[in-house]
Amino acid sequence: MGIFDFFKGKKEKKEKKTYHDNGNLREIYQINEKGKKDGFYRKYYDNGQLRVSVSFKNGNQNPGKIISFHENGKIFREVFLSKNGKFNGEFNEWYENGNIQFKGYYKNDKRVVTQSYQIDEKENIKNKIKKPHTLDKDLINDNTTKKISKNRTKIGVENFGLKELDTKLKSISKMWYQILKSRASFRPINLEKLKLSYWDMALGHTEEYMLKYENGQMDVEGIRYRIDMLNLFIDEYEKFFKGRLEKGNSVSNHIINDFLAVVESLIGAEFTLIKMVDAGELYDINELYKRKERPNSGIIKDNDNDPNTEFEDILEYSYYNGYLFNGICMYVDKNNILYETPFRFGLKHGLERTYDENKNLIQEVSYFNDKAMTINKYDSEENKLKDEKKIPTKQNKTSKNSIDNRFLKNIDKVEVFSSFTDIQVRNTQISVFTSAVWQLINADGKITDEESIQFMEFAKEMSSKYLGDDDDMNDPMIGELMKDPDKMVEVIKTFPEDELEVFWDTLFSFALADGDFSVDEANLIGIIASGVYENLSDDEVRNWITKKLKS
């Protein structure tokens, strides 16, 4: 082939661009004639600030140092991608103000935090972790092991009480500590009043993260950061649990509730990562299924003919000897079929194998936190795969736009809804509920950090309940109604009895979030209650409030 033939056959690369909703550039990258990324790749925030800049060759990201940035332009992360396509070597992460947050290293995509820094109120950096959060023998040399082993037991068990646990949790991150405590405070209401499952609560976080991902505000590294942070909290809880378990002590329900709020947050973040991979992002999902040593992680046996009475389900979680089970259950049914099932946090997690009475493998089910993701069936004699099925994981039990008629049963009695559609009615109820809580925390003229954090979590939860699209959510007819306090009270009257109880519980929960039930807060609740329960006198309303505070 002559030189002119060579240049004639060479095709130029094309540029591709995607945009944020506000019209600003989201991504710009080059592709080759095969449609694969080949050349530069740049990603931007919706304010125009560069997020990350890397390069590709025929669809594969080129190795080397990767620097990403915060939305304000400050450096966020510095990490190295090796030739095998995995992170290896040292990494650093910084806060938005430029101060260091994490130091550590990667080994084939496995992240190890060696130092974590916390910013106090005066923006001073405090070194909080002086030893690796995760240590594996194949990742560190003998000298490092000897230095650390003086202060470390097999899995870092420490004998400390509740105050020490609280101190350690705060030392990880005060902001995350408050966020997780806020989620824990709403968990009983979600379970008892709203009848939400652990999966419903986890998916609430997934939906929030996926919305950010679709809007270019979240990437794989962002969700992995959240997973790492949540695992730091889980590690401290599990050290506490292991210490209690070894001493034969129980754990109070409120600590279990706080821990499960973290677990459900982790499940939501992990499921987001799975959905990102389904959307084409690169990550080894097998990392989510790797087992590690946890409290209560042995092998137990259960049998239909001789049930293991120490192995029980409490709500949706499985416990053994009173603690969340993290081991493997060998269960034999009446037909002598053996199920070998791995658990994590009391939920089926990993590959469950099923054997017939002759010990032949007949089925494998891959579980993700109690949800079957894939099912493989085998020929019992030849042990060959004969059927493979991927199970679609439902994100919601009902469609977002479906309407539960129990919320509409009193609507025909209310003049304020005379020209409203069913979607407008339900969205108005949600808006009034949220607005009432906002007015309450503003009633005394000040909003504490605790109230602010709780309200943000609450508002996110409520926004997920709106029906229709963004236009329905921002309907001007609803906005007009919200200007009239009397009409808002009329809307509250249409709440079903169970939702009305949730409404009152939520108001009192926020009123007491700062430990002080002010006169202004009492007056606002009293005004709303007087409008809803018109037959009650002022004294009866005051008595009702007093009973609510004591309940």
Domain with CATH 1.10.3680 in the chain: 406-550
DSSP single-letter state for residue 23 = S
Spatial CB neighbours of 288, under 8 Å, sequence gap ≥ 6: 270, 273, 274, 368
pLDDT in tens, 250-270: 888 889 999 999 999 999 999
> What per-residue confidence (pLDDT) applies to 124?
45
Distances from the Cα of 128 to the Cαs of 100, 132, 167, in angstroms? 12, 11, 11
Sign of CA dihedral 520, 525, 526, 530: positive
pLDDT over threshold 60, residue 330: yes
Choose between 523 and 381: higher pLDDT: 523
pLDDT over threshold 80, residue 10: no
Packing angle between helix 198-214 and helix 253-278, nearest 10 degrees? 40
CA 428 to chain CA centroid, nearest Å = 27
Residue with tokens 């809804």: 417
Sign of CA dihedral 119, 124, 127, 128: negative
Choose between 274 and 418: higher pLDDT: 274
> What per-residue confidence (pLDDT) applies to 495?
86
Q: What's the whole-number mean pLDDT along residues 481-509?
A: 85
Task: Please give the Cα distance from 119 to 131 (Å, whole number).
Answer: 19
Topology (CATH) of 406-550: TerB-like (1.10.3680)
Distances from the Cα of 212 to the Cαs of 41, 155, 265, in angstroms? 20, 35, 16
User: Percentage of residues in the chain with pLDDT exceeding 70?
Assistant: 80
pLDDT band of residue 67 (cuts 50, 70, 90) is confident
- Given a contact cutoff of 8 angstroms between Cβ atoms, the answer to whether 510 and 517 are in contact is no
Q: What's the whole-number mean pLDDT along residues 530-540?
A: 84
Q: Of the ranges 87-91, 486-490, 512-516, which one carries the lowest mean pLDDT score?
A: 512-516
pLDDT, averaged across the chain: 78
At residue 494, the 3 state secondary structure works out as coil
Backbone angles phi, psi at 41, to 5 degrees: -140, 125
Spatial CB neighbours of 319, under 8 Å, sequence gap ≥ 6: 311, 312, 313, 325, 346
Sign of CA dihedral 261, 262, 265, 267: negative
Task: Please give the Cα distance from 336 to 351 (Å, whole number).
Answer: 20
pLDDT band of residue 150 (cuts 50, 70, 90) is very low
Q: What's the whole-number mean pLDDT along residues 155-179?
A: 77
Highest mean pLDDT pick, 94-108, 220-234, 433-447: 220-234
Largest CA distance in the chain: 100
pLDDT band of residue 204 (cuts 50, 70, 90) is confident
Packing angle between helix 538-550 and helix 497-511, nearest 10 degrees? 80
pLDDT over threshold 60, residue 58: yes
What is the 3 state secondary structure string of 259-323?
A: HHHHHHHHHHHHHHHHHHHHCCCCCCHHHHHCCCCCCCCCEEEEECCCCCCCEEEECCEEEECCE
Q: What's the whole-number mean pLDDT along residues 217-243?
A: 92
pLDDT band of residue 46 (cuts 50, 70, 90) is confident
Residue 148 token pair: 């650390």
Task: Please give the Cα distance from 258 to 176 (Å, whole number).
Answer: 13
Strands 299-303 and 328-332: parallel
User: Percentage of residues in the chain with pLDDT exceeding 90?
Assistant: 19
pLDDT band of residue 485 (cuts 50, 70, 90) is confident
Spatial CB neighbours of 421, under 8 Å, sequence gap ≥ 6: none
- What are the CB-based long-range contacts (under 8 Å, 24+) for 127-135? 128/171, 128/172, 132/104, 133/104, 133/232, 133/235, 134/110
pLDDT in tens, 265-284: 999 999 999 999 988 888 88
Q: Which of 129, 66, 132, 120 is nearest to 95 (CA)?
A: 120
Radius of gyration of the chain (CA): 27
pLDDT over threshold 70, residue 23: yes
Vertex 543 angle, CA 540 and 546, to 5°: 155
pLDDT band of residue 288 (cuts 50, 70, 90) is very high
pLDDT over threshold 60, residue 433: yes
Q: What's the whole-number mean pLDDT along residues 298-313?
A: 88
pLDDT in tens, 121-148: 334 444 444 333 333 323 223 333 222 2
